[in-house]
Structure 1
């Protein structure tokens, strides 16, 4: 019967798609990430080792991404002076577009550029915004898909737990 091979192929495809998302849990993938900042300087995620990092993937055309940015800025300010950093990686846009967007906003955390969208394949980014909470060793301890208010107690408790480690 032809249905069985087709069903098997479909299940195999589904399992291989799911496997691509396991990279997000591999600290080596995060430590190997290097993206240019708005000035064109290559920034490696190893520069943030020893800090808890909220790593956010976003775009200027993404309304939920734009909406959560002020709470990310306030989160950065809340934990200023501690081993914490917010790093936002723009997916698929050039520096001119991102700089024009940022002129209208008071954002102080590092903004990096993934102009070719390589992180989608490498990390299994499924949509925007998508964020990863990285511990001080650079390992992902939590993945967030969709917009968040980063000052909500559920989010801050996770960050504070990692800062205490």
Structure 2
């Protein structure tokens, strides 16, 4: 199980435009591009998204065409390089620009992430031993689960999203863990902020994830202050959160999760 940082709320303060881009080019987040690639893949079949990705134009800030390999090499070496993504809203095409951050941009980003980590550490501490007074989960079929309907059960909630590689990687382990508790009073939920249609599309391919899937749940991820994915919670039969994934703990997380679940069952 690995932890992946979710880069959703960190928007670059960079706002410069480039003369070599079309007037219709607007800076966009990476999700817009990924949706574009997925649509191409769905429309044209295997390999189409890869070809579209290779065909995406890339420039340095002087307007010189560069390769993906060159871009990756500079970013790996450090030095404050990043990429900015622009979409031509008329041609529906995308362009990457290799941008070197200014000292001011670097300082601002470092300050942002320092605060982000502090907030996450504080939030995890607050979550542990918190007693919930209400919880409502609605699955893909429209079935509703509440704290009242689940009363007495141990609740395992895994927060994930469809583009989270670490989330997908841990799914088989979590599914195997669930099988070990078959017949026990444990309810298993995979909660995501992704909309139902995107989640349904994700599961069109075989996925080893046997949790009850709860889509369209940004309000729940926000309520629990989830900043890193995957994050797993264990809630005991009285509604108390007894386990929260340690953000930087990469050793035996499944073993610790199982220990937390066992602890709730022993108290029954």
RMSD: 3.0
Alignment of 1:26 with 2:130, yes or no, is yes
TM-score by length of 2: 0.48
Pair 1:151–1:122, CA change in 2 (3 A)? closer
Q: Which protein, 1 or 2, shows the higher relative CO under an 8 Å CA cutoff with sep ≥ 6?
A: 1
SS in 2 for 1:54: strand
Deviation at 1:18, TM superposition (A): 6.9
Hey, what's the Cα distance between the residues in 2 that align with 1:151 and 1:77?
17
1:43-82: CA deviations, max 9, x gaps?
3243322111211111010011111111111111100001
Pair 1:155–1:120, CA change in 2 (3 A)? closer
Hey, what's the Cα distance between the residues in 2 that align with 1:151 and 1:20?
20
Alignment length, in residue pairs? 148
Deviation at 1:24, TM superposition (A): 5.9
Alignment of 1:88 with 2:170, yes or no, is no
Alignment of 1:157 with 2:255, yes or no, is no
Structure 2 unaligned segments of length 5 or more: list them: 1-114
Pair 1:70–1:53, CA change in 2 (3 A)? same
Hey, what's the Cα distance between the residues in 2 that align with 1:19 and 1:150?
20
1:109-151: CA deviations, max 9, x gaps?
21112x2612233111121111111111121001015597988
Contact 1:75 1:151 (8 Å CA) reproduced:
no
Contact 2:188 2:211 (8 Å CA) reproduced:
yes
Q: Which of 143, 157, 178 matches 1:41?
A: 143
Match of 2:225 in 1: 124
Structure 1 unaligned segments of length 5 or more: list them: 1-13
Considering fraction of residues, name the structure with more helix: 1
Hey, what's the Cα distance between the residues in 2 that align with 1:63 and 1:110?
19
Higher Cα Rg, which structure: 2
TM-score by length of 1: 0.74
